[in-house]
Amino acid sequence: MTWTYLNKEFLRREEVKISPFDRGFLFGDGVYEVIPVYEEKPFLLEDHLGRLGRSLNSTGIKNPQKWNDIPGIIHELVKKNTFSNQSVYVQVTRGEDSIRNHIPDPKVQPTLFITSSELKVNPYRLDPERKGLEVKTLEDPRWNRCDIKAVTLLSNIMAMNEANLEGKDGVIFCTNGEVTEGAASNVFAVFDNQVITTPESNQILSGITRKHVISLLNNKGIEVQERVLKLEDIYKAEEVWVTSSTQEIQPVTKIDGRELDIKKSYKDSLWHELLTSYFSLA
């Protein structure tokens, strides 16, 4: 049985309903977070709620009434949904309007929806020797505010669906030959022991895992260069990884059908070292 939370109460998955007049349904007028939970403990929760607050601010969506209670609600939900590792989904839409109108009624009250599902163990933890991810690159079709974690993910879905139908594991978006980010992840590459990741801007989401990985690296005395990552260079990288709250860190070994020339075994790879020390700063 899956439990959810809607606005003010816990409801079973079969009971929870929202109106089609909710602006999230009509316009995709909403923002969200995905928070990993390990052994019932939310990981980097404050960072996620901080980013949710910024997404609400940027979009002018009001904070939900229960804003201050969200950590407690997540805590209770995680207990009700019995998996020890969970992926908690928090969505806030601008709310249910009386009619469909692009301009929201100022009186509209936000809708808060929270649910969770099992968070599968990162397969590279279980078997670091397994084949790396195979991704394709696509020209980034998205809008200019990818820094907002908006629920409007049609471009991401179309790209990931295309890759999946071709038997690929994911997508890396590029703009004019420069890597922006993955369709649901951030991208890192290693050249001559230098770690590079695309700088924060309105073209990418400031990933919580990205920030965590940068801290882990800094903690090991490794500087991360936040600078433009050229697509033509990434094919020649020593290591490429994607990072996200659900994927943690995963290595990429094939891009656009081209096998990367990875010389190191996983034991000497930075991605594996980072995965091993993933929880050391939390």
Give catalytic residues, as residue numbers: 149
Q: Residue 244 CB, nearest distance to ligand PDD (Å)?
A: 4
Q: Would you say 28 and 92 are in contact if contact means Cβ atoms under 8 Å apart?
A: no
For residue 63, report the phi and psi dihedrals to the nearest 5 degrees: -65, 140
The answer to the question of residue 250 lying near ligand PDD (CB under 6 A) is no
The answer to the question of residue 244 lying near ligand PDD (CB under 6 A) is yes
155-174 binders of ligand PDD (CB under 6 A): none
Cα separation, 262 vs 45, in Å, equals: 35
Q: Residue 148 CB, nearest distance to ligand PDD (Å)?
A: 11
Tell me which of 59, 91, 186, 198 binds ligand PDD, using CB under 6 A.
186
DSSP annotation string for 263-277: -S-GGG-HHHHHHHT
For residue 126, report the phi and psi dihedrals to the nearest 5 degrees: -70, -40
Nearest alpha carbon to residue 159 among 150, 151, 168: 168
Instruction: State which residue, 34 or 275, has the beta carbon closest to ligand PDD.
Output: 34
Cβ-based neighbour number of residue 113 at 10 Å:
20
Q: Residue 97 CB, nearest distance to ligand PDD (Å)?
A: 25
The answer to the question of residue 184 lying near ligand PDD (CB under 6 A) is yes
For residue 150, report the phi and psi dihedrals to the nearest 5 degrees: -90, 150
Q: Would you say 174 and 138 are in contact if contact means Cβ atoms under 8 Å apart?
A: yes
The answer to the question of residue 210 lying near ligand PDD (CB under 6 A) is yes
Tell me which of 209, 234, 241, 275 binds ligand PDD, using CB under 6 A.
209
The answer to the question of residue 88 lying near ligand PDD (CB under 6 A) is no
Instruction: State which residue, 51 or 94, has the beta carbon closest to ligand PDD.
Output: 51
Cα separation, 29 vs 164, in Å, equals: 27
CA distances from 107 to 34, 67, 94, 97, 110 (A): 28, 18, 10, 9, 10
Q: For residue 43, what is the DSSP state?
A: S
Q: Residue 119 CB, nearest distance to ligand PDD (Å)?
A: 10
Cα separation, 71 vs 88, in Å, equals: 11
Number of residues that bind ligand PDD (CB under 6 A): 14
The answer to the question of residue 45 lying near ligand PDD (CB under 6 A) is no
Q: Would you say 183 and 146 are in contact if contact means Cβ atoms under 8 Å apart?
A: no
The answer to the question of residue 254 lying near ligand PDD (CB under 6 A) is no
Q: Which stretch binds ligand PDD (CB under 6 A): 23-31, 180-188, 260-268, 271-279?
A: 180-188
Q: Residue 205 CB, nearest distance to ligand PDD (Å)?
A: 4
Tell me which of 140, 181, 238, 239 binds ligand PDD, using CB under 6 A.
181
Q: Which residues bind ligand PDD (CB under 6 A)?
A: 34, 181, 184-186, 205, 207-210, 243-246
